[in-house]
């Protein structure tokens, strides 16, 4: 696998990790009267993706 393919694999892996799958966001529900106010637990991820070394590559066809 070339360096560019490894970089592509890393970006694709991070895209799937950070932006896919089931979102479990409702941490608590507070009700006022008959209205539920849903509190969303916001998960903020700040990562230096360039510095992460990919070791488990998905198969890629560019």
> In this complex, which beta carbon is closest to another protein, that of residue 24 or of residue 32?
24
- Residues making contact with another protein (CB under 8 A): 8-9, 12-14, 16-24, 26-27, 43-48, 51-56, 58-62
> In this complex, which beta carbon is closest to another protein, that of residue 21 or of residue 33?
21
Calpha distance 36→39 (Å, rounded): 9
Taking a C-beta distance cutoff of 8 angstroms, is the pair 16, 61 a contact? no
> In this complex, which beta carbon is closest to another protein, that of residue 35 or of residue 51?
51
């Amino acid at each position: 696998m070339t360096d560019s393919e490894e970089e592509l694999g890393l970006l694709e892996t991070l895209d799937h990790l950070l932006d896919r799958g089931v979102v479990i966001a409702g941490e608590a529900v507070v009700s006022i009267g008959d209205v539920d106010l849903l509190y969303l637990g916001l998960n903020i991820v700040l990562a230096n993706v360039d510095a992460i070394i990919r070791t488990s590559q998905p198969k890629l066809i560019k």
